[in-house]
Chain A
Amino acid sequence: MSTVNGKAEEPVGGTSGRRAPTVADFTTGQEVRWCPGCGDHAILSTMRGLLPALGVAPENTVVVSGIGCSSRLPYYLDTYGIHSIHGRAPSFATGISINRPDLSVWVVTGDGDALAIGGNHLIHALRRNVNLKILLLNNHIYGLTKGQASPTSKVGTIGPSSPFGSLDNPFNPIALALGAGATFVARTIDSDRRHLTATLTAAAAHKGAALVEIRQGCPTFSAIPRQPSRAAGQESPAEPDNPAAPEHGPIRLSPGLPIVFGAKEQWGVVRDPSTGELGIGHGGDSRVVVHDPGTQNSTYAYGLARLAETSLAEPPIGVYRSVSQPSFDELYQERLATARPDGRGDLRSLLTGSDSWVVAG
């Protein structure tokens, strides 16, 4: 046993001299309790595969969640973790992250958890740019409480609390995160393990808040459009003559590449030169946009995020925005370091102050 030495910002553990961590090192013995076919299984196994590859020791990884099916995930990862209360995971994670820059802190949350009860904490974690990797498992429904409409359910969703169809407009998590000033915003999907791994790896490498919306299937309560199991370029029997047809699958955003889609890349995202607005055009059009998530001005990413609402069956996946800004954690630690250049200030002089007087005995 040792006493806290007041220097908790220095790594307490360490991986030096130890073998590289493996999937097994990140796996707990807890029985996984999600419905068969739940998208959360795929996300968990991706995380188990990804974490060892990041080179961070299990003891330096902390996973914090709220409440919901998705928020059970920390129990299945053999790291440090908190399964907290509904919607508040970003606040617990903030308290951990800003005090301990040696830790890699992840937040796992659901669409109800992050966007209904926890909306406030999410936007503030993003605007502050706290060094958190936030995985928003979006199944467009409240799973744990048995199928009520969530803030991402589309209008008309039928559920036990909306038997005649929901009336409220859904949030677009990507647009919301961009509006909050997030420096890293991405969307991926549970059914595409490679895309999921690549997106989470990019998020892990980002310094500052990274929001990754993971479109997650909940076979029990909702069915979100799944990506067709067809390789790109492969001719399908009836390639539809409509860019909004679900058969195309989601647009994949790749940095430095033109944004085109369809089996023959016959469709593309084009920018109207007079208004600057993004729309859908033909793949061969000279106005097809080359994707640049590093664009400082978030209008571009916002335009991309909004595209799906009008002209596509499924929203684009990939990294929408990835820009570099100082993280709150760095600024916070810097402020502390400048305030105490010679270590901790003297308690006696603080207590005595400059306005004390002495009473003789």
Chain B
Amino acid sequence: MPTEQLSERSEGARRLENVVIRFAGDSGDGMQLTGDRFGAQAAAIGNDVATLPNYPAEIRAPAGTVAGVSSYQLHIADHDIRTPGDQPDVLIAMNPAALKANVAELRPGGVIILDTDSFTVLGLEKAGYDIDPLTDGSLDAFQVHAINLTGFAAAAVADHNLKRKDAARTKNMFALGLVSWMFSQQIEDTIAYLQKRFASKPDVQAANVSALRAGWIYGETTEAFANVYEVKPAPLPAGTYRHMKGNKAVAYGLVAAAHQAAMPLFLGAYPITPASEILHELAALASNDVRSFQAEDEIAAIGAAIGGSYAGMLGVTVTSGPGMALKAEALGLAVIMELPLVIVNVQRGGPSTGLPTKTEQSDLLQALYGRHGEAPMPVIAVRSAADGFDAAMEAARIALAYRTPVILLSDAYIANGSEPWRVPEVEELPFIGIDLATEPNGVDADGNPIFLPYARDPVTLARPLAIPGTPGLTHRIGGLEKADLTGAVSYDPDNHDLMIRTRQSKIDGIDVPPLEVDDPSGPPGSGADVLVIGWGSTWGPIGEACRQVRAEGMKVAQAHLRHIVPLPANLASVLSEYHTVLVPEMNLGQLAGHLRRETLIDTVGYNQTRGMPFRTAELASVITRVIQGIDEDASGAAGTKPVGDVGARLAAMSEAGAAKPAARASTATANQHDVTREAGR
């Protein structure tokens, strides 16, 4: 089948402003690849796209079970969007377990495309269905398309000499072809992608392409669907765009930073979900002078990165919570040695191994305070997938300019999610290089020139860096307290006090842009009464929720913190202009506590730790209730309770009198409910 025919737009497609599609199947069914390709296709036709991959921690949880379901949700729109959407409009379920795990979230009236091949007695049993949902009327509220995807795919690839099992595995491409047709998408990019990806396996390559095309043609010829849809391009500012995943954006930001600092990038890392991908990306970029090193553990990884920085590289290490815990001691060393270093923590559900593949914002306090001694460190947070690029560059800028380790916080949602990214012109990027010391900068008691590694720049308080190989500037640094100027070991009490205060002042004095407020109704003080402030990946959901609330005629302001250490200088004055400050977080109130400590302003928390980003509707309802000041007793505030039966279970525990845990649990519950409490000023 010549490709020209495939690329023709279907006639009479119905126009949609936006649509939410979720591909779901067994973790072996290739749903992540399928979703990723669909997103790339949508991005390529100019849609705005936001994605939410969701997969189990096990590489292969038991096949066919609900525990083993992997899914990929995409929101595509003809306008600017910031979240992957609350509820899917379309669900592609490759087996009964995928249906079972996802159908409850599907919008009533939504479309289900399912693979009948797996709806066997055994398949239903593994998914825990007593009765076939296709026959018991439980799907009556949806438009169900029951299609033998596996069968059609296998038939389409019959000529390619594949084993039966391998032939069946092309069903995801058949499904992708079909859904692409349904949404008037072109599949040429994906064909090119498959050709590249399976270049070394010609049979597999040809079979996947055949299955993809067959799915597309199936849609076109069978008239299985009453409607074909189309989402028009979103009006994006002019420029070159790319579909960008969060982890990749961070990796590229680091490469660009090293380039703009005219230094080689050196990464020391130890694999950990969901940060490994940054290591993988960077490991492949040796041609861009990226040096990567897979160490024996996270301690060695940061050790090597610090060694690299000392030797004149831009040292970087990437990890997630458990690895961050291991790096704590070395972070302190980087603080006292005052060396540039970027530490990326892609947060996941904790504590301990927690939820390795799910998102959370619960490492903020660890980033702020998780070291012994007075060890201040700048903390920056990525707000969305594409933003990873800018955030990483900013982290590197501060690290270099102030000779300090900088923590860059991302999370699993950002890491795996994707969105269109406007590729910057290299000329637009700031130069962030620093001057290295090459000459003595002081004199000793006898007037001989010497190098003072702890003399400071009067503005930034940064110390001079002399890298090994520089003649005449040999010096030793280390973890023992440094004498001011000379950097010699010093146990002098006054010197220790001076150095502690100096290191703190250096971090406090970092120039960070002022906090900006987004409020169409007016500037702080004359616009909305309620300000919603967030950090990290809640930026998208908070922004969408604010738009929704405004669309309903209410006023609300949004602000977002990129820099958490140091905080913007105008923070307290901005916050104090609002009657209520709401802080939604995927933790139990870590930023809220930090804000209280730093500004003495009491905020209202909305907290959830379900491993998933906030839904827009949920946040919009919380904001609405805060604005309306209703539900004073708060206990009945819809959308603010722990989702599901968590609240009831916590309450039951306290009633049962389980002494300590119950007391804590009920505090948490109160906190969850207490969204309308007045700001205590």
Interface residues of A (CB under 8 A from B): 1-6, 8, 11-14, 18, 28, 30, 57-60, 62, 64, 67, 74-75, 78-85, 88, 90-100, 102-103, 120-121, 124, 332, 335-336, 339-340, 344-345, 347-348, 350-353, 355-361
Contact = CB atoms under 8 A, between A and B. Distances in A.
Given A92-B307, A95-B307, A120-B296, A336 B474 contact: no
B237 A120 contact: no
B44 interface: yes
Interface stretch (B281-289, B564-572, B583-591, B602-610): B281-289
Given A83-B477, A355-B242, A11 B469 contact: yes
B337 interface: yes
Q: Chain B interface residue count: which class?
A: 35 or more
B227 interface: no
Contacts of B289: 6, 336, 340, 344-345
A81 B478 CA distance: 8
Nearest to A128: B296
Given A94-B307, A339-B287, A347-B255, A88 B300 contact: yes
Contact of A3 (B241, B309, B436): B436
Nearest to B489: A75
13 contacts: A1-B439, A4-B434, A6-B263, A12-B470, A13-B471, A59-B469, A74-B478, A83-B477, A91-B307, A100-B468, A102-B469, A356-B241, A359-B238
Nearest to A88: B303
A59 B470 contact: yes
Interface string B253-282: 001100101111010100000000000000
B468 A91 contact: no
B131 interface: no
A358 B469 contact: no
Nearest to B288: A345
B330 A88 contact: yes
Interface string B368-382: 000000000000000
Given A59-B471, A80-B475, A355-B40, A94 B300 contact: yes
A361 B436 CA distance: 42
B435 A74 contact: no
Interface in B459-502: 467-480, 488-489
B214 interface: no
A147 to B, nearest CB: 21
A71 B530 CA distance: 57
A84 B306 CA distance: 10
A347 B257 CA distance: 11
B312 A100 contact: yes
B472 A59 contact: yes
A59 B286 contact: no
* Interface pairs A-B: 3 shortest CB-CB: A95-B307, A83-B478, A91-B303
A358 B286 contact: no
A340 B265 CA distance: 14
Contacts of A85: 329-330, 333, 479
Given A350-B252, A352-B423, A336 B307 contact: no
Contacts of B305: 95
Contacts of A344: 259, 287-289
Interface in B280-333: 285-289, 291, 293, 295-297, 299-313, 315, 329-330, 333
B140 interface: no
Given A99-B291, A339-B286, A8 B467 contact: yes
B137 interface: no
B659 interface: no
Q: Name B's interface SS.
A: mixed
B63 interface: no
A92 to B, nearest CB: 4
B239 interface: yes
Contact of B297 (A75, A120, A335): A120
Contacts of A60: 468-469
Interface in B219-252: 233, 236-243, 252
B455 interface: no
Contacts of A4: 261-263, 312, 433-434, 436, 467
A103 B308 contact: no
Given A30-B488, A60-B468, A78-B474, A3 B264 contact: no
B300 A124 contact: yes
B469 A103 contact: yes
The residue in A14, A100, A351 that gathers the most chain B C-beta atoms within 10 A of its C-beta is: A351
B468 A121 contact: no
A216 B189 CA distance: 67
Given A8-B467, A67-B479, A124-B300, 19 more contacts: A3-B434, A4-B261, A4-B467, A6-B263, A11-B469, A13-B469, A59-B469, A74-B476, A83-B480, A91-B299, A95-B293, A97-B307, A100-B312, A121-B296, A340-B286, A344-B289, A351-B426, A356-B423, A357-B44
Contact of B293 (A83, A92, A98): A98
The residue in B239, B242, B478, B480 that gathers the most chain A C-beta atoms within 10 A of its C-beta is: B478
Contact of B240 (A336, A340, A347, A356): A356
Contacts of A78: 474
Contacts of B301: 91
A8 B464 CA distance: 18
B424 interface: yes
B111 interface: no
B392 to A, nearest CB: 13
A98 to B, nearest CB: 7
Given A340-B287, A344-B289, A353 B242 contact: yes
A60 B264 CA distance: 19
Interface string B50-79: 000000000000000000000000000000
Given A99-B313, A103-B468, A351-B256, A83 B479 contact: yes
Nearest to A97: B307
B666 interface: no
Contacts of A67: 479
Given A1-B435, A91-B299, A93-B307, A84 B468 contact: no
A351 B251 CA distance: 11
A28 B468 CA distance: 16
Contacts of B312: 4, 8, 12, 99-100
Contacts of B300: 88, 90-91, 94, 120-121, 124
Contacts of A91: 268, 295, 299-304, 307
Nearest to B300: A91
Contacts of B433: 3-4
A102 B469 CA distance: 8
Contacts of A345: 285, 287-289
A60 B470 CA distance: 8
